[in-house]
Amino acid sequence: PIRKPLVLSTWRHGLAANEEAWKQLKNGESTLDAIVAGVGVSEADPNVASVGYGGFPDREGEVTLDACIMDSNSNCGSVSFLQNIKHPIAVAKKVMEKTPHVMLSGEGALQFALSEGFIKENLLTNRAENAWKKWLENSKYKPVINIENHDTISMLALDEAGDLYGGCTTSGAAWKLHGRVGDSPIIGAGLFLDNDVGAAAATGLGEAVIRTAGSAMVVELMRQGKTPMEACKEIVERIYNKHKNHKDMEYLQVGFIAINKVGDYAGYSVRPGFNYAICDDEKGNRMESALSKMT
Ligand code: SD4
């Protein structure tokens, strides 16, 4: 039997995101709206330091946001380098639905959001500002594994109709250069799905995911018959091999989640410490730990 509906989200804050998405699905909302509302919980949570409100800023002290969304017809929308808007995932959905484009960036993305009725807000919390000031004392860009390059919320859903949807949203790597865009708003890198095959999403050091077209590759391996676990593992191993002599290796962490059309799912990461939240009818909403390449 096909395990559906099924909602999978990265990291522990994925639990609250799944819970909201699940509620929306059971209320008969569209799967796309369920994803927007689900990851929107993390975006609005000041304690989640790498998504939306409360996200750690770049080295200039600016919170800049990346997000994207994709539906079962391969429609997609994305925003990158967006500032002062609490729910970039909702803006990404509008880009998909209301413009002839896939991606809007920076000031243009902000103007579009404002024209759609979004409100400009300060997203830098005292906690994030204090963390930034502390970072300024040494000002080294060396992300702390599983902390400063994690917390992106990526959510994948297989709905009652058997269709796949996905979204992800992040404030990106803490202390990045102003203007830096990660993998999360890039369709094929931070998120990809093909409704004939499966869906995949990434978290971790975006540079490494972009270099390897991570999520698109995971989906392509599933097309070739690999299970979500086999596909995630192979791409994580590829990323590890490509980076083992790379300057980024010192702080490299990447994790993928993936689901296929029958509701098999998996998570796999370069280093230990990655986990994800999974919600289905059989066992409810719970955390599972990903296997990893390194120990
Ligand atoms: C980025 N991939 O901007 C994001 C950060 C992240 O979990 O995933 N955090 O590189």
Which string of DSSP letters, residue by residue, matches 53-73? TT----TTS---EEEEEE-TT
Query: How high is the pLDDT of residue 148?
Result: 53
Query: How high is the pLDDT of residue 36?
Result: 98
Nearest CA to ligand 1 atom 9: 150
Question: Which atom of ligand 1 is the closest one to the Cα of 205?
Answer: 10
Measure 203 CA to ligand 1 centroid, in angstroms: 5
Instruction: Give per-residue pLDDT as tens, 180-202.
Output: 999 999 999 999 999 999 999 99
Q: Which one of 183, 248, 275 would you pick to mutate in the ligand 1 pocket, going by the greatest count of ligand atoms within 8 A of its CB? A: 183
Query: How high is the pLDDT of residue 54?
Result: 87
Measure 143 CA to ligand 1 centroid, in angstroms: 11
Q: Is the CB of 183 under 6 A from ligand 1?
A: yes
Angstrom distance (rounded) from CA 9 to CA 146:
16
Angstrom distance (rounded) from CA 31 to CA 173:
28
Q: Is the CB of 220 under 6 A from ligand 1?
A: no
Q: Is the CB of 71 under 6 A from ligand 1?
A: no
Query: How high is the pLDDT of residue 146?
Result: 63
Query: How high is the pLDDT of residue 158?
Result: 98
Nearest CA to ligand 1 atom 3: 172
Stretch 26-52: mean pLDDT: 94
**Considering the entire predicted model, what is its pTM?**
0.96
Instruction: Give per-residue pLDDT as tens, 91-134.
Output: 999 999 999 999 999 999 999 999 999 999 999 999 999 999 99
Query: How high is the pLDDT of residue 49?
Result: 82
Please say if 10 is a catalytic residue: no
Percent pLDDT > 70 in the chain is 97
Angstrom distance (rounded) from CA 52 to CA 86:
6
Q: Which one of 9, 42, 48, 50 would you pick to mutate in the ligand 1 pocket, going by the greatest count of ligand atoms within 8 A of its CB? A: 50
Query: How high is the pLDDT of residue 150?
Result: 62
Which amino acid, one-letter code, is at 66?
D
Asked if the peptide bond before residue 5 counts as cis, ω within 30 degrees of 0, the response is yes
ipTM of the prediction:
0.96
Query: How high is the pLDDT of residue 94?
Result: 98
Average predicted confidence (pLDDT) for the chain: 95
Count Cβ atoms within 10 A of the Cβ of residue 36 and give its class: 0-12 exposed, 13-18 middle, 19 or more buried: buried
The string of DSSP codes covering 140-184 is: ---PPTTTTT---EEEEEE-TTS-EEEEEEE--STTPPTT---ST
Is pLDDT larger for residue 233 or for residue 1?
A: 233
Query: How high is the pLDDT of residue 147?
Result: 59
Query: How high is the pLDDT of residue 149?
Result: 53
Instruction: Give per-residue pLDDT as tens, 213-255.
Output: 999 999 999 999 999 999 999 999 999 999 999 998 988 999 9
